[in-house]
Amino acid sequence: MLEKIKEVVNEINAFGNKKPIKIISHFDTDGITSAAIFSRALQRAGIKFSLEITKNLTPEFLEKLPEEKNLIFLDLASNSLDYLAKKKTSVIILDHHEISQNIPENVTMINPQLFGEENCSSAAICYLFAKTLSEKNIDLANLAVIGMVGDQMEKNLTKTYDSILKDSETQIRRGLLLYPATRPLDKVLEYSSGMYIPEVTGSFQGVISLLREAGIEKTSSGFKSLSELTEEEMSRLITSIVLKKSSQSDSPNIVGNIFLTKFFNKIEDVREISALINACSRMGFSQSALGFCLGNKNSKKEAERIYTRYRQNISSALKYVTEAEKIIGKNYTIINARDKIKDTIIGTVASIMSFSPLYPKGTIIIGMAYDQDKIKISARISGESEKNVREILHRAVIPISGEVGGHPAAAGALIPKEKESVFLNELRSILDVEIVKPRSTNV
């Protein structure tokens, strides 16, 4: 893959100023960090370009792309090759998603799946490109780490990531997977949406009781943060939480690597940075997220304000889900929110639900929300499972001219709104008979 990256570096250098470059990147955390890394590297090299962030590649979007420019796609386009084959221009794709179509002659692709290598996020691929372009771009390594966490690839660290983590000087410690790990522990426990702890989440008194049981005392300046706990304190806290949860089998899901990196000259929890970037895009402010990644102080202030509004929207969405009627089967739950939840946050809502103790391990969560004349669909799995939700969506969506993307454990789709009933009937038929393929190991 590194040899192919060198070829792309030479190809982009050969473009010169003869034909302008247009970069198109995805709007999630991995896409935004990819765009930040790639654009900063080109800027430093004196290569002119324009940049656009997009939610998805619809046929209409692809048809409008200019042929008088060289096109570079980051964190998307692996499933749009048939459309790109029609473009009379050079196309470069840096992506890691599944490739389901033949690669056209006008497309140069860097994707770990083509080389039989360990999977990594698009931000990691963009960082390898940037570092190949110039060793001076080593300062962009922390953005690649944020992209890694944003795409949930931190559980199995590969050789590629070992190298990137070293370049970024990221600190890693084993501990409770609550974020931000740099904020006072009492507040993090009380307001956590990613980990539900019975009698603790949402309860100040429950938090104080838990910390007392774990032997973690309040200091003169308040409670410590997770990153400040000693190994012994961390161990006691984890034990206390496991005892609060319904079963010991839940404990592996609450413990993992905590990543701490320097951002705006301050040590921050990478998960929190990732969540903030993601929130900006989902609220329609991708440019603020990009500016934040590039170190703009005004963008940082704006991003923090957007993040606050985003969390308020999530709270309202979760309240709606609690009260709304659902389609419930033996191994699945479908929430058809229609226009009650923004299409850009339905995936986040589905993810939070998948961590809830209300859904047994292996339960498939499907969220649906209107997106103008289309319906956005997000699928998640509760706990560890061999089920492949991307394959499930593919079977239900492709026959009705929809689009599918994502991964075995977290996938998304887009279908025409008029196909809503047809999709639901087909989806339920597939789920009810449990025709589910095992999760692929190389996606």
Which are the contacts of 147, defined by CB distance < 8 A and separation ≥ 6?
Answer: 29, 30, 33, 34, 121, 122, 123, 124, 126
CA 26 to chain CA mean position, Å: 10
Contact 139, 263 (CB under 8 A): no
Asked whether 114 and 17 are in contact (CB, 8 A), the reply is no
DSSP SS3 for 86: coil
Decide: pTM greater than 0.85: no
pLDDT in tens, the chain (443 residues): 889 999 999 989 888 667 899 999 999 999 999 999 999 999 999 999 999 999 888 888 999 998 899 999 999 999 899 999 999 999 999 999 888 889 999 999 999 989 887 889 999 999 999 999 999 999 999 999 999 998 888 877 888 899 999 999 899 999 998 889 999 999 999 887 667 787 888 889 999 999 999 999 998 899 999 999 999 999 999 999 988 875 434 445 788 899 999 999 999 999 999 999 999 999 999 999 999 999 999 999 999 999 999 988 988 998 899 899 999 998 899 999 999 999 989 998 998 888 777 888 889 999 999 999 999 999 999 877 788 999 999 999 999 989 888 778 889 999 999 999 999 999 999 998 764 444 444 43
Domains of the chain: 2-164 (3.90.1640.30), 172-316 (no CATH), 324-432 (3.10.310.40)
Tokens of 394: 């593919």
Q: CA-CA distances (angstroms) from residue 101 to 77, 78, 104, 262, 294? A: 11, 8, 9, 40, 34
C-alpha angle with apex 441: 439 to 443, nearest 5 degrees?
90
User: Do residues 123 and 147 touch, judged by C-beta distance below 8 A?
Assistant: yes
3-state secondary structure of 74: strand
Q: Which pair of structure tokens corresponds to residue 344? A: 């850009």
